[in-house]
Structures are given as C-alpha cells and as structure tokens.
C-alpha cells in the first residue's frame, strides 16, 4: 500500500504530476464539524486527551476534502505537560504554563522515559487513525521542536519575540541547554512511540526558529533537529521526517542536508520560486501558499495556488500552506484550492 500513497512517494523523492495535498491545522475551528466535536469534549485539552474525539476531528477534513494526509490532532505543549509542567488554556488568550526560571524548576521535571503514561491517550489516537484512515491517506505524527517548546516553558505563554528564552540564554546558558537537551530526548521518545502506534511520517514544528540567529540557530534549531531525526531513523529505518524551521529565511538553504530531514516545509515569507531554486535542490519541499487566501478566496486564490504548483513542479513537492489555516477561513476556499491543484 505504501507505493500508492502519494505523500510517501513525494517524500521518497518522486516528482508527481499532481502534488499531494494537506494543510497545517486542517482539523480546526474553521470547520463547523470540528467546533461541534470540541463542544462535545468540553475544552481543548479534553479533546486532545480523548482518543475517539481526537481521531474524529483528525478524520473530519479527510472526509470533507480528501486530503492525501491526515496529521494527528494534538498540541505541541502536551510534551512539557508530560514532563511535569502545569498547562492550561486561558479563554481567548491561548496556552499558559508553569515556568522554568531556575535550576530548581528544571530539576522538578520528569525524565524522558517518564512521559508515556501521560501521553498514552495520544498513542491510542494514532492507533485508531491507523485503522480508520482511507488506505491511500498517509498518517503524520508530530511534535514541537525543542527550541519552540522551550520558549513556551520559559515564558509560560507565547510571546511575540521569544524574549524570555533569549534572556535565559544570555543569563544562564547551561540551564537553557539542559532544558533543550531534556526536550530533545523527550521528543525522540514521543515521536518514536507515535511511529510504533502507526504514524508513517513525523513532522517537527519549529514555529519560532526564525528568532534564532547565527550560532544560536545552529545550536538550538539545527542541532536538536539533527539529533531527533538521526535517532528516529536509527530506530525506524526508512521513516520519513518533515522539518519546519518556520521563518528561517536563508537558513532554509541546506537545512535538509544538515539535519537528515527528507522534506523541508517553508513558510510564505519566502517565495515559491526562491525555495524551488535554493531548497528543493536538496529534495522534497512542502509549502507554501499564504493562508490568507483561505479567507479571501476568489481568482487570487486560484492564481496563487497555480503559482506555487508551477514553481515546484520540477522537483518533489507536497502542497501545503505556509502556516496553519486560520479560524476565519472559509471551507469553500479550501475546496477551491484542492480543485485547482487536482484539475491543473
């Protein structure tokens, strides 16, 4: 069955006449059926930790749009919670966590091997999806990259410039690096368990990689990704890995070679022709339609979609947005995007 899955073929380097399609955050608030299921769950974390419901929202966009891949419904902050951090979601304000500000805070965290009981519902969701997805649909597991997850753990919330994490690097680099190391180890265990449960591909989301520069990018974005990918491929030979160092700009160039990633996802701050010339030379690229087109639609959506497809047509490509679809997106625009790609 692997040979028939378009996404796996692209990840293996095959150039297909029509690229496989999926969207980041494709299971989300823009879909009325998602909103109904989330209401049934009661709150976001309950949805993440209730396997039947998490599997249901993962399957909803596959039923509606026929995407070539489904990505596990979970959240990047489940790993810090499994490590012992307190996690809650403030209505209208997003996630909140207890903070790592001292050695004592770090010492209170659990080890990498102690996360699995907490994350068992996530693995069960993967098992359900492995059984229930259409035979042609690839199942993607995922985790947040250590740098991005660390920024939330240090600040206790999302921040516009990741300032608290940068401050900790300046004030106590050994503590910061111990946190990165713990997250790297835990991420290896978490993703490996997803693969054992049935994930066919894993993706590493480094949403705040763009705020790292120079040697810090190499140390805290590139090197953890390399360690994670190397360990996963040693345990699971042939496992494809997608890396997304968002807003890395020129640092996208060579990222696949340096980390061992089979595919680099690019955001929409770089142009598709640039990414084709500079990044796709090393293998598969994923991206990178501006998510705003899912809100505005119309002829501009059709033309922008065609531009991305044309730009990447000479190499292996997975069509996706440059970032996650937003809650105000119109499902009809998603359908138009899919139709535009598949009808040429």
Distance CA 32, CA 45 (A): 19
State residue 3's pLDDT score. 65
| Catalytic site includes residue 25 | yes
Out of 35, 38, 127, 219, the active site residue is: 38
Selecting among 68, 75, 262, 267, the annotated active-site residue is: 75
Query: CB–CB of 317/273 below 8 Å?
Result: no
Cross-strand partners of 139: 70
Q: Sort 195 into a burial class: Cβ within 10 Å, 0-12 / 13-18 / 19+.
A: middle
Question: What structural domains does the chain harbor?
Answer: 2-343 (3.20.20.210)
d(CA 253, CA 245): 11
b/e per residue 288-325 (b: at least 16 CB within 10 A)? bbbbbbbbebeeebeebbeebbebbeebbbbbbbbbbb
Which of 9, 25, 226, 227 is labelled catalytic?
25
Look at the block and give the residue holding tokens 């060579």.
254
The pLDDT tens digits along the chain (344 residues) read 446 899 999 999 999 999 999 999 999 999 999 999 999 999 999 999 999 999 999 999 999 999 999 999 999 999 999 999 999 998 778 899 999 999 999 999 999 999 999 999 999 999 999 999 999 999 999 999 999 999 999 999 999 999 999 999 999 999 999 999 999 999 999 999 999 999 999 999 999 999 999 999 999 999 999 999 999 999 999 999 999 999 999 999 999 999 999 999 999 999 999 999 999 999 999 999 999 999 999 999 999 999 999 999 999 999 999 999 999 999 999 999 999 999 98
Instruction: State the catalytic residue, choosing from 29, 35, 157, 219.
Output: 29
Q: Which residues pair with 179 in a beta bridge?
A: none
| H-helix or E-strand spanning residue 151 | helix 146-155
User: Catalytic pick from 34, 49, 152, 190?
Assistant: 152
Note if 29 is an active site residue. Answer: yes
Instruction: With beta carbons less than 8 A apart as the criterion, state whether 267 and 322 touch.
Output: yes
């Amino acid at each position: 069955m692997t040979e028939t899955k378009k996404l796996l073929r692209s990840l293996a380097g095959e150039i297909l006449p029509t690229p496989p399609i999926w969207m980041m955050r494709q299971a989300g608030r823009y879909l009325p059926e998602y909103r109904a299921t989330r209401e049934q769950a009661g709150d976001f974390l309950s949805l993440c930790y209730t396997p039947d419901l998490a599997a249901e929202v993962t399957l909803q966009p596959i039923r509606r749009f026929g995407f070539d891949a489904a990505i596990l419904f979970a959240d990047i902050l489940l790993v810090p919670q499994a490590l012992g951090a307190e996690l809650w979601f403030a209505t209208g304000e997003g996630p909140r966590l207890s903070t790592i500000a001292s050695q004592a805070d770090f010492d209170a965290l659990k080890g990498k091997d102690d996360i699995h009981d907490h994350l068992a519902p996530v693995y069960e969701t993967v098992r359900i999806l492995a059984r229930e997805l259409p035979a042609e649909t690839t199942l993607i597991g995922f985790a947040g990259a250590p740098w991005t997850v660390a920024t939330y753990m240090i600040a206790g919330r999302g921040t516009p410039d990741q300032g608290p994490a940068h401050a900790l690097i300046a004030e106590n680099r050994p503590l910061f690096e111990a946190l990165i190391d713990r997250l790297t180890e835990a991420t290896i265990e978490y993703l490996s368990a997803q693969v054992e449960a049935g994930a066919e591909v894993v993706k590493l989301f480094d949403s705040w990689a763009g705020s790292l520069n120079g040697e810090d990018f190499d140390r805290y974005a590139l090197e953890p990704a390399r360690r994670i990918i190397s360990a996963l491929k040693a345990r699971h030979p042939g496992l494809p890995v997608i890396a997304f160092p968002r807003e890395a700009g020129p640092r996208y160039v060579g990222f696949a070679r340096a980390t061992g990633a089979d595919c680099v996802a690019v955001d929409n701050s770089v142009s598709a022709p640039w990414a084709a010339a500079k990044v796709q030379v090393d293998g598969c690229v994923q991206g990178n339609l501006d998510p705003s087109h899912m809100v505005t639609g119309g002829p501009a959506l059709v033309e922008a979609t065609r531009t991305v497809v044309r730009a990447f047509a000479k190499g292996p490509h997975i069509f996706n947005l440059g970032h996650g679809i937003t809650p105000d997106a119109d499902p009809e625009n998603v359908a138009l995007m899919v139709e535009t790609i598949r009808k040429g």
